[in-house]
Structure 1
Amino acid sequence: MMLGVIIAVYCISTTAAQNAGEKASAEHATYDEERVSAHAEQMFKRLYIKRRAEQLDGVKRLLVLGSYEKQYQMVDVIVDNLFSVLQSSRVVLESSGYVPGISSFPTDEKVRDALANILENTALFGDILLHLPDISHRVLSSKHEWQVILQWSLGFTNQSQLIDKQTRVLVGLVSMELNLTERHPNYVNPYKRQINNLNRVKEEVKTVNSSKKKKEIKKGPRMSRVEL
């Protein structure tokens, strides 16, 4: 009888030890996964900031194209591609069940790419809209589905914890510019004054160049009157 008790106790102890070992291994694996996920998230944030700087440089190059027509053509092409990416990425994220601000950083590469596409392209359109408001409103109003996608992507981006402070401010300004949220009493597009100043400078340069050309025109030789 005593031997049976000893064997039973040994078996219970062995089982408990095995369970404890399995639990420790599972916790260790979970810790490793969380550590890898946290590292990937930090890398994502750093790359996002870098990507945003590159995008802003690209928008600044749009501003010096020189004519409204050229700017409109470029913006139209960019926006068409941009919303195509937003739409396809939205499908991926919604089918994955990812919820911004709630879900943990995705481990699936396809979902991460879709997440980056949404956050980057939403901010890019925001830059274009604020720097070239007249053209952007005109392009955006040409397709109702673009307005629907943009409203969704702005909400998604605003809920995300992966964007930097400057981008969060940008999203707020874009939402007010589009009247998707109530405008603050003192709201103003911070780039509109820069745009007006740039246009004024262009007109002044154009006027100066025009005056110079007129001065450079030389009169041809005149026939002198010869009295017979």
Structure 2
Amino acid sequence: MQFIRPFCDERQSTWCLHCTTSLSEVRTNKDHVPSKCFLKKPYPENLPTVEICAECNNGFSADENYFACVIHAVLAGSLSPDPQHHPEAAKILRHNQGIARRLNTQSEQVDLFPHELPFTVYPDYKRIERVLVKNAKGHAFYEYGEPMLESPSTVEVFPIHQLSADNRARFESSEDVGDLSAWPEVGSRMMDRVMTGRDMLGEWIVVEDGIYRYAVDQAGGLRVRMVIRDYLGAQIQWFH
């Protein structure tokens, strides 16, 4: 990815995006957005990062590892994938056998993958949501300079191939993309992308082709869309 220097209001960078703690009063870390658990090695250069408090950053690690197990199990179609055919998934699940066992147990958890028979998993939706919202807040701040300190209004997660044609089209494209009222703030990274097309494919910012892409827009509030491994889609929105 190309490095883009922002020229936003630096006063917006004084709080942790997740707990609102003043960053001047605590130890901080650079948090990757997208989380590296979404990506494939070797990682692209100049991955986006945002500064958050170290406590929040460390607190996301277990959920990110859990998320990696879920997505790799689903894509491999097994909790014990063949290392020759799915080396990345096999390695991750072999090192996290406790998580793999729990994913094989149906409980009160939400089934995100109801039509992936004969194989399915039963993930803890709250853990999946925490990772997605963490990344959505990071994308919003990195691209727009907007700290979304409140919880989002809606969080939607779905396998993109299960969407109807109309819903897929609505997810992939924003009807308001040409509306000047929804354009990014001058000085933001997103404005730079709009003007130059850096790392862009249409409305989407491509981090790794076929692995991870995201889009951020402000029509009707603020919306972050993500596609992970060309399989799992997410849409997180904050309404005005």
TM range (shorter): under 0.3
Q: Larger Rg: 1 or 2?
A: 1
Give 1 or 2: higher helix fraction. Answer: 1
Give 1 or 2: higher strand fraction. Answer: 2
User: If the length of structure 1 is used for normalisation, what is the TM-score?
Assistant: 0.26
